[in-house]
């Protein structure tokens, strides 16, 4: 908690999509939010919108040293993090693995795997020392269910899922909680625009004639898991639009 008594959350990837919605929702719940992302002007806009409960921090999570420096250098009244949402992440491309660019794979690994690991690594010692805290990891249904073109993105989200479960073992008895949130299709964020390299027709086609989840639905999930009483740890939340489900395996014949 901060000196004002407000609980403190760190949200990575707060400049857009889930992260911005989570920041709004956490501020509404009375948190002070350290909002981190590369596009600091977006974070400044969030502060202008939400007031000084938002503390913008320029951060590229691919830079593990910078992640550690941000956590170590938080002003005293924001240093005792109650909640950390490891949300910064992205998918690049959806073509077959054999046609993917190495640069895209590297950026997904550096952001979704390395960046998440650095975030968790930077915050755990403080949480354990304070014997309180909640790490919320943004996984995806892509970490559980393979789909064509999911390859490294799905692999990176499987890492998030398994890291979070493993943390539960190591944090046993510390009082520190860990939750993974694994969403299906969520529209209204920049996710698909980035995945499809700005091709608006593919973004539109992805969500055509169906009702996807919204970033606010995810923010509500974060608010729910983090507002449970201290004896309750929600391990994993998997959430999909009602209009999204599963289909049979494909079989190649001939």
List residues near ligand NDP by CB under 6 A.
12-19, 37-39, 42, 59-62, 87-90, 111, 115, 138, 140, 183, 185-186, 189-191, 194
Given the structure tokens 């007031």, which residue do they identify?
51
* Residue 77 or 190 with smaller CB distance to ligand NDP: 190
Quick one: CA torsion of 111, 114, 115, 116, rounded to 10 degrees?
A: 110
| Least separation in angstroms between CB 85 and ligand NDP | 10
Query: In angstroms, what is the minimal distance from the CB of 8 to ligand NDP?
Result: 19
State the CB neighbour count (10 A cutoff) for residue 224: 13
Nearer to ligand NDP (CB atom), residue 176 or residue 213: 213
Region for residue 95 given its phi and psi (left: phi exceeds 0; alpha: psi -120 to 50; beta: otherwise): beta
Q: Which is nearer to ligand NDP, 33 or 183 (CB)?
A: 183
Instruction: At 155, give phi and psi (nearest 5°).
Output: -60, -40
**Min dist. Cβ of residue 82 to ligand NDP (A):** 21
Q: Is 64 exposed, middle or buried (0-12, 13-18, 19+ CB in 10 A)?
A: middle
Q: Is 153 in the active site?
A: yes
Q: Which is nearer to ligand NDP, 8 or 108 (CB)?
A: 108
**Least distance (Å) from ligand NDP to the CB of residue 133?**
20
Task: Say if residues 130 and 82 touch (Cβ distance below 8 Å).
Answer: no
Q: Which parts of 51-101 fold into alpha helices (H)? A: 64-72
Choosing from 31, 147, 153, 207, the catalytic residue is: 153
Is residue 234 within 8 A of residue 221, CB to CB? The reply is no
Q: Which two tokens stand for residue 58?
A: 């320029």
Question: What is the smallest separation between the CB atom of 74 and ligand NDP, expressed in angstroms?
Answer: 16
Q: For ligand NDP, give the closer residue by CB, 20 or 124.
A: 20
Q: Which residues are catalytic?
A: 153
């Amino acid at each position: 908690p901060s000196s004002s008594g407000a609980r403190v959350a760190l949200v990575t990837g707060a400049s857009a999509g889930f992260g911005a919605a989570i920041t709004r929702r956490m501020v509404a719940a009375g948190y002070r939010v350290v909002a981190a992302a590369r596009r600091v002007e977006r974070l400044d806009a969030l502060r202008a919108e939400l007031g000084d409960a938002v503390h913008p921090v320029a951060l590229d999570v691919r830079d593990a040293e910078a992640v550690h420096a941000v956590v170590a250098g938080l002003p005293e009244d924001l240093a005792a993090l109650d909640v950390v949402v490891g949300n910064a992440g992205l998918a690049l491309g959806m073509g077959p693995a054999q046609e993917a660019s190495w640069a895209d794979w590297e950026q997904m690994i550096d952001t979704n795997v390395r960046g998440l690991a650095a975030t968790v690594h930077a915050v755990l010692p403080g949480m354990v020392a304070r014997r309180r805290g909640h790490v919320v990891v943004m996984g995806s249904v892509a970490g559980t269910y393979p789909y064509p073109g999911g390859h490294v993105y799905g692999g990176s989200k499987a890492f998030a899922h398994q890291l979070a479960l493993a943390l539960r073992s190591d944090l046993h008895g510390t009082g520190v909680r860990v939750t993974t949130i694994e969403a299906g299709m969520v529209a209204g964020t920049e996710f698909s625009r980035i995945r499809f390299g700005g091709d608006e027709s593919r973004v539109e086609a992805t969500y055509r004639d169906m009702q996807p989840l919204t970033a606010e639905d995810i923010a509500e999930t974060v608010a729910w898991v983090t507002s449970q009483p201290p004896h309750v740890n929600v391990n994993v939340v998997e959430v999909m639009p009602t209009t999204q489900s599963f289909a049979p395996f494909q079989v190649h014949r001939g």
